[in-house]
Amino acid sequence: MLTGSVGKKAKNKPGDVNVVQQIINLRGDLRKKLPKIKEDSKIGPKTQLYIDTIQSHFMKKPDGRIDPFGRTIKKMWPVAYGKPTNRPIRGADKYGSGYHGASRGRRKHDGADYVSRPGQNVKAPLSGVVTKISRPYSSGIDAKILSGVEIIASDGTTCWVWYIKPAAKIVGKVVEAGVSVIGRAKTLKNRYKNGITDHVHVRIHDRNGRKINPAKVIK
């Protein structure tokens, strides 16, 4: 969720500073009595004070620096999972089953499909930051209609959520699993005609690219 370090003697790329500032504002419990801060993407004495304060809750000697995949960012925005549609994984229909590893002819289904009602709010399956719009199809009518997002967690776990219309200005936003709305579900019936169960496709892999079965982590 961070692409470089933030704080003292750090890289302080504006996008990363902004992510830290969003988390500071979302975590009133870590800020204690300190008020919210301006999300201006700039490191300054104020943002630095907040980083030191937050670290003092769990470090004897705060170093004032947040490293990607490090202890501080994992404490600030823990890895967590949540249900995207509040509906179960798609059972078998004409096009197969929605479980991770289900057969798709010569290949295997690489995510899990959560049943959706087109138009419903879809929530983040993973806590992290929305890094980009992720597109399931590069051509055809669906390339325009069916879209998705990529979410990266504090430990580098990465999640793609497909077949949604992403919420406005969602890229760059810090999201909480099972709470933050990332978009609205779209129908797949234009692509698959009759017999498909509308769903959102959720694919998760760890920092090293190893696939994770969503059903094992989304409870």
Here's the x/- map for Zn ion, 53-92, by CB under 5 A: it reads as: ----------------------------------------
77 vs 21, 22, 90, CA distance in Å?
12, 10, 30
What is the smallest separation between the CB atom of 109 and Zn ion, expressed in angstroms? 6
Residue 94 CB neighbours (<10 A): 10
Residue 123 or residue 201: which is nearer to Zn ion going by CB? 201
- How many other CB atoms are found less than 10 A from the CB of residue 169? 8
Should residue 113 be labelled a site residue for Zn ion when binding is judged by CB under 5 A? yes
- Least distance in angstroms from the C-beta of 191 to Zn ion: 12
Q: Which is nearer to Zn ion, 109 or 132 (CB)?
A: 109
Question: Whole-angstrom Cα distance, residue 198 to residue 219?
Answer: 21
Closest CA to 116 of 82, 73, 83: 83
Among residues 158, 148, 149, 94, which one has the least CA distance to residue 127? 158
Cα gap 31→10, rounded to integer Å: 21
Applying CB under 5 A, the span of 33-41, 43-51, 194-202, 205-213 interacting with Zn ion comes to 194-202
Closer Cβ to Zn ion, 101 or 172, answer by number: 101
As given in the structure block, the two tokens for residue 111 are: 């995510």
Q: Which residue is nearest to Zn ion (CB)?
A: 201
- Asked whether position 150 contacts Zn ion by CB under 5 A, the answer is no
**Which listed range, 19-27, 121-129, 197-205, 206-214, lies at the site for Zn ion (CB under 5 A)?**
197-205
Tell me how far CA of residue 184 lies from CA of 101, 165, 168, 208, in angstroms.
26, 5, 11, 29
CA distances from 53 to 28, 48, 56, 126 (A): 12, 9, 5, 26
Structure tokens at 47: 């943002």
| Number of shown-chain residues binding Zn ion (CB under 5 A) | 3
CB of 142 to Zn ion, least distance (A): 14
Mapped onto helix, strand or coil, the DSSP state of residue 133 is strand
Q: Which is nearer to Zn ion, 65 or 201 (CB)?
A: 201
Contacting range for Zn ion; rule: CB under 5 A; set: 51-59, 106-114, 121-129, 130-138: 106-114
The CB-of-163 to Zn ion minimum distance in angstroms stands at 8
Could you give the CA distance from residue 83 to residue 168 in angstroms, rounded to a whole number? Answer: 21
- Of residues 73 and 89, the one with the C-beta less far from Zn ion: 89
201 binds Zn ion (CB under 5 A): yes
Residue 111 vs 178, nearer CB to Zn ion: 111
Residues in contact with Zn ion by the rule CB under 5 A: 111, 113, 201
